[in-house]
Chain A
């Protein structure tokens, strides 16, 4: 029997090559290509008075330079607003090179192409730009006050205002026995993959074809954008995504200015051109996320059940809004998590600031939504003096309530309907895994040793696998090798392994015979991209459907050849055989030969398929409604998203003197439906947790009031190293399959990072007895909170003492 691959911890086929340094990332390609350096704005907000590029042309090795005035046709138009929305009344996007005005430090102004990067950078430093600085709008408060405007024609700096409601939240809150209000804040962070953005383009004038290699999360998107901008037919442009050194959201944005400027330059110059973003450029000219101010009003009963909840969000989307309202819509809707408030209202304003654009970073607005909901849950528990897990459980959607309609519109424009899940069981598993009910004894023991510990938990639901569709093409070669092409791209998720596992199972072939190609528009021209935890759900389903087509065709052909009934046949280990009679079997490669009637024999195998060997002389060699080849091609397009869920718990120790936060235990329970490869899923969870630790305790974008990013390096933007991440992450799985797709898969890629800000706030609050309302939190900020709490309590001396921590549930003084 062929071993079942689905659900197995299969080692990744990608690994060996990457380990030996044989990975091929964009900057590893096209050695000897012309290289690019970009002049970027040093001002957050300024009018461009004059640009003098003349001194550049004297530099030896400089080939060409472009500014906005050199752009023509569609290239001179603003870059596309990728995701329009009726509420996005004031959408503004940047030009490939700044036109008249710059709106953030790092905005591209001039594009220099030279023999190598050293020369290109020398040349950039010679460009003279005269600026007329304008007041910079930095931070949500400055944007809201609208004392200055980012774009003259956008009143109030407001790009969009969107309200969604179910029930009458205000009335429900007013009538509720208990009420609380919270003001919350989440600061900016960013994806910061270790490989920045990069694009290589080669124009073949003989064939009239453009080939673009880009470090992107969507090769089909880049292809469409490049063709549109350069006035080429789609059929003239191929986009290939080679190995990608991490994406985490930032590389779904397209086209970046350089992504269209590089192909433009390659066509104009007739030579391959390469752009490789450097680290500082990545900080100031790609994208950030997370920054929001939030206000919550909530009314609840004695058990902590949410009777009414009203949320206001102010979302900082930076200087432009190419990715539309996706992030604040996700915050608004996914804040609901596993809960069912009787009435819910959310309104957000998406605001311009003179800072780097904001587009989805792993989690894409969910971390902020989970933060506001879970902070609310903890505040309710503290107010009522109830257990935090108990308050959450009182609000859970129950297993028999699925499909559960949250009566909201999700990020894909479709109803927010949860397909399946079991939240009470997840919570039980988490409590057992982390020892929730026994924690008081742990706390007491630590206290006796003079140590201060706390435990936190956070729950989330993640809408994964958004549409519109993904496809797969599978071709069985006459060697028996199975070639699979999917359209979406890979950035380290092990797609070549996971999808080969699915094909091996569906088709009954050895895993080793399956080879998966991703993100190459020459192989699959219709695709959307890798984001929103959608690859396994979307492409995994498409791969399964396409494999089923191949199997059906193989059985039909083999039935004829073996003179057996189709229903008596099975495919085992790459051979079609009569069930239970493996003696008479036909290799799938032979079936592939038979599927393609030939005039010419080019090897021994193909002699089997030539015209004097096979076929009924009374019928056409390829019958009506049939095609030559043993192939399958299918698409999966779901009605709506499938909803994964998870719950995390963390035990922290806070240093009584330095206020440093140490992670003692980290536990995850996770439900992403059917597991394709548990090793890959756990890797994704580990990675998400590592980024979450960064986002909760270390990472932020430190802008000064003039819009300069003060920490635009890995020295100053504190990403976790191995020293900051727990050495062990305890993981338990629950599998409630999705009814929406053939394998029951739900997405898993983003999950690990989603609850972190809420989780650490919960644990630190528990350890310290001080309300935490703003994340991330540094030791100095925690120290400061302690000092203020002690001042408020009228006793500075007790600020650092263990005894003062967590004596009573915290009164947040927010009840009316």
Chain B
């Protein structure tokens, strides 16, 4: 069995894994970090989203052996260094009633954090009309960019409001 190393929410781990082990199963089954959830195991629902080396990533489709040495931040570690240990994006979800059962929420929040970084860096999306201009983060842009995360409770109105608020507040959010 190959040996892999991961830094997860600021803590280093080195362990032997079955080559088939996904990053999601490594986090949940081997390291006991159950913040990312398994909703479909096929990269279609986004519940397993974490920040992997700073980018949002579907961990159910990532084999652990392919990401040896990676740094992972899950919803449980996002708040590190923030007031009350709560990331501003998580705080916006809280204030905008952006979830109900909470199962998709750790993935939604990680996805939103990664998405806001991409926006700041000027990445275009499928619906960006002018690829040369600065991206206008209107609702269509935000919805398109959050369209990898399913919420069966249908809290999308709140999710969009939360993300919109983070964009408006500019900064880290």
Please tell me if the beta carbons of B154 and A195 are within 8 angstroms of each other in the complex.
no
A19 at the interface (CB under 8 A from B): yes
Please tell me if the beta carbons of A246 and B42 are within 8 angstroms of each other in the complex.
no
B39 at the interface (CB under 8 A from A): yes
B94 at the interface (CB under 8 A from A): yes
Task: From B42, B103, B144, B155, give the contact of A683 (CB < 8 A).
Answer: B155
Q: How far is it, in angstroms, between the C-alpha of A461 and the C-alpha of B58 when the chains are bound? A: 42
Q: Which residues of chain B (53-101) have a CB below 8 Å from chain A? A: 74-76, 79, 85-86, 90, 93-95, 97, 99-101
Please tell me if the beta carbons of A721 and B160 are within 8 angstroms of each other in the complex.
no
A792 at the interface (CB under 8 A from B): no
A687 at the interface (CB under 8 A from B): yes
Q: Which residues of chain A (663-705) have a CB below 8 Å from chain B? A: 679, 682-684, 686-691
A31 at the interface (CB under 8 A from B): yes
Q: Which residues of chain A (98-142) have a CB below 8 Å from chain B? A: 116, 118
Task: From B44, B159, B160, give the contact of A713 (CB < 8 A).
Answer: B44
Q: How far is it, in angstroms, between the C-alpha of A815 and the C-alpha of B75 when the chains are bound? A: 61
Q: Contacts A719-B152, A720-B154 given: A279-B144 contact, CB under 8 Å?
A: no
Please tell me if the beta carbons of B139 and A727 are within 8 angstroms of each other in the complex.
yes
Smallest distance from the beta carbon of B96 to chain A beta carbons, Å? Answer: 10
Q: How far is it, in angstroms, between the C-alpha of A193 and the C-alpha of B152 when the chains are bound? A: 6
Q: Which of A22-30, A166-174, A546-554 contacts B (4 or more CB under 8 A)?
A: A22-30
Q: Which of B32, B40, B95 has the most CB of A within 10 A?
A: B40
Please tell me if the beta carbons of B155 and A687 are within 8 angstroms of each other in the complex.
yes
Please tell me if the beta carbons of B152 and A192 are within 8 angstroms of each other in the complex.
yes
Please tell me if the beta carbons of A279 and B40 are within 8 angstroms of each other in the complex.
yes
- Size of A's binding interface in residues, CB under 8 A: 59
Taking CB atoms, residues of chain B closer than 8 Å to A736 are none
A218 at the interface (CB under 8 A from B): no
B165 at the interface (CB under 8 A from A): no
Q: How far is it, in angstroms, between the C-alpha of A729 and the C-alpha of B34 when the chains are bound? A: 33
Please tell me if the beta carbons of A492 and B101 are within 8 angstroms of each other in the complex.
yes
Q: Tell me whether chain A's interface is mostly helix, strand or loop, or mixed.
A: loop
Q: Which residues of chain A (723-737) have a CB below 8 Å from chain B? A: 723, 725-729
Q: Which of B36, B102, B154, B155 has the most CB of A within 10 A?
A: B154
Q: Which of A8-16, A308-316, A594-602 contacts B (4 or more CB under 8 A)?
A: A8-16
Taking CB atoms, residues of chain B closer than 8 Å to A20 are 35, 75-76, 79, 85-86, 90
Q: Contacts A279-B42, A687-B155 given: A246-B75 contact, CB under 8 Å?
A: no
Please tell me if the beta carbons of A21 and B106 are within 8 angstroms of each other in the complex.
yes
Task: From A116, A195, A682, A720, give the contact of B39 (CB < 8 A).
Answer: A195
Q: Which residues of chain B (146-161) have a CB below 8 Å from chain A? A: 146-160
Please tell me if the beta carbons of B154 and A25 are within 8 angstroms of each other in the complex.
no
Q: Mark B101-137, 1 if CB is under 8 A from A, else 0.
A: 1111110010000000000000000000000000000
Please tell me if the beta carbons of B75 and A118 are within 8 angstroms of each other in the complex.
no
Taking CB atoms, residues of chain B closer than 8 Å to A721 are 146-150, 156
Please tell me if the beta carbons of B157 and A727 are within 8 angstroms of each other in the complex.
yes
A781 at the interface (CB under 8 A from B): no
A245 at the interface (CB under 8 A from B): yes
Q: Mark B1-41, 1 if CB is under 8 A from A, else 0.
A: 00000000000000000101100000011001111111111
Please tell me if the beta carbons of B101 and A31 are within 8 angstroms of each other in the complex.
no
B45 at the interface (CB under 8 A from A): yes
Task: From B44, B153, B160, give the contact of A727 (CB < 8 A).
Answer: B160
Q: Which of B35, B95, B149 has the most CB of A within 10 A?
A: B35
With both beta carbons as reference points, the residue of chain B lying nearest to A246 in the complex is identified as: B101
Smallest distance from the beta carbon of B108 to chain A beta carbons, Å? Answer: 9
Taking CB atoms, residues of chain A closer than 8 Å to B29 are 31, 116
Q: Contacts A195-B101, A714-B40 given: A687-B153 contact, CB under 8 Å?
A: yes
Taking CB atoms, residues of chain B closer than 8 Å to A19 are 75, 86, 90, 93-94, 99, 102, 105-106, 109
Please tell me if the beta carbons of B143 and A686 are within 8 angstroms of each other in the complex.
no
Taking CB atoms, residues of chain A closer than 8 Å to B105 are 18-19, 23
Task: From A14, A192, A682, give the contact of B102 (CB < 8 A).
Answer: A14
Q: Which residues of chain A (277-314) have a CB below 8 Å from chain B? A: 278-279
Task: From B39, B75, B139, give the contact of A21 (CB < 8 A).
Answer: B75
Q: How far is it, in angstroms, between the C-alpha of A662 and the C-alpha of B135 when the chains are bound? A: 24
Taking CB atoms, residues of chain B closer than 8 Å to A688 are 154
Q: How far is it, in angstroms, between the C-alpha of A152 and the C-alpha of B69 when the chains are bound? A: 60
Please tell me if the beta carbons of A722 and B156 are within 8 angstroms of each other in the complex.
yes
Task: From A16, A248, A729, give the contact of B94 (CB < 8 A).
Answer: A16
With both beta carbons as reference points, the residue of chain B lying nearest to A694 in the complex is identified as: B154
Q: Which of A21, A25, A691, A727 has the most CB of B within 10 A?
A: A21
Q: How far is it, in angstroms, between the C-alpha of A21 and the C-alpha of B113 when the chains are bound? A: 15
Task: From B33, B40, B94, B143, give the contact of A722 (CB < 8 A).
Answer: B143
Please tell me if the beta carbons of B102 and A492 are within 8 angstroms of each other in the complex.
yes
| Tier of interface size on chain B | 35 or more
Taking CB atoms, residues of chain B closer than 8 Å to A14 are 102
A216 at the interface (CB under 8 A from B): no
Q: Contacts A118-B20, A686-B156, A729-B157 given: A194-B104 contact, CB under 8 Å?
A: yes
Please tell me if the beta carbons of A245 and B156 are within 8 angstroms of each other in the complex.
no
Please tell me if the beta carbons of B34 and A28 are within 8 angstroms of each other in the complex.
yes
Please tell me if the beta carbons of A690 and B154 are within 8 angstroms of each other in the complex.
yes
Q: How far is it, in angstroms, between the C-alpha of A14 and the C-alpha of B109 when the chains are bound? A: 16
Q: Contacts A246-B153, A720-B154 given: A11-B100 contact, CB under 8 Å?
A: no
A715 at the interface (CB under 8 A from B): yes
A634 at the interface (CB under 8 A from B): no
Q: Contacts A725-B157, A727-B139 given: A246-B152 contact, CB under 8 Å?
A: yes
Q: How far is it, in angstroms, between the C-alpha of A689 and the C-alpha of B160 when the chains are bound? A: 15
A493 at the interface (CB under 8 A from B): yes
Q: Which residues of chain A (172-208) have a CB below 8 Å from chain B? A: 191-195
Q: Which of B33, B143, B149 has the most CB of A within 10 A?
A: B143
Please tell me if the beta carbons of A691 and B154 are within 8 angstroms of each other in the complex.
yes
With both beta carbons as reference points, the residue of chain A lying nearest to B39 in the complex is identified as: A194
Q: Which of A20, A245, A248, A684 has the most CB of B within 10 A?
A: A20
Please tell me if the beta carbons of B100 and A687 are within 8 angstroms of each other in the complex.
yes
Smallest distance from the beta carbon of B52 to chain A beta carbons, Å? Answer: 15
Q: Contacts A14-B102, A679-B97 given: A194-B150 contact, CB under 8 Å?
A: yes
Q: Which of A18, A276, A493 has the most CB of B within 10 A?
A: A18
Q: How far is it, in angstroms, between the C-alpha of A269 and the C-alpha of B41 when the chains are bound? A: 29
A486 at the interface (CB under 8 A from B): no
A243 at the interface (CB under 8 A from B): yes
Task: From A245, A722, A725, give the contact of B37 (CB < 8 A).
Answer: A245
Taking CB atoms, residues of chain B closer than 8 Å to A691 are 152, 154
With both beta carbons as reference points, the residue of chain B lying nearest to A244 in the complex is identified as: B101
Please tell me if the beta carbons of B152 and A683 are within 8 angstroms of each other in the complex.
no
A809 at the interface (CB under 8 A from B): no
Taking CB atoms, residues of chain B closer than 8 Å to A518 are none
Please tell me if the beta carbons of A245 and B44 are within 8 angstroms of each other in the complex.
no
Please tell me if the beta carbons of A243 and B157 are within 8 angstroms of each other in the complex.
no
13 extra interface residue pairs, beta carbon distance < 8 Å, beyond A21-B74, A719-B150: A22-B76, A116-B29, A118-B21, A194-B45, A194-B103, A195-B39, A245-B102, A683-B100, A683-B155, A687-B153, A723-B143, A725-B154, A727-B139
In the complex, the 3 A-B pairs of residues with the closest C-beta atoms, listed nearest first: A21-B35, A690-B154, A492-B101
B residues in contact (CB < 8 Å) with A: 18, 20-21, 28-29, 32-42, 44-45, 47, 74-76, 79, 85-86, 90, 93-95, 97, 99-106, 109, 139, 143-144, 146-160
Contacts A/B (CB < 8 Å), 13 sampled:
A20-B76, A20-B85, A21-B36, A27-B34, A492-B99, A494-B100, A683-B97, A690-B151, A691-B154, A713-B44, A714-B150, A726-B157, A729-B157
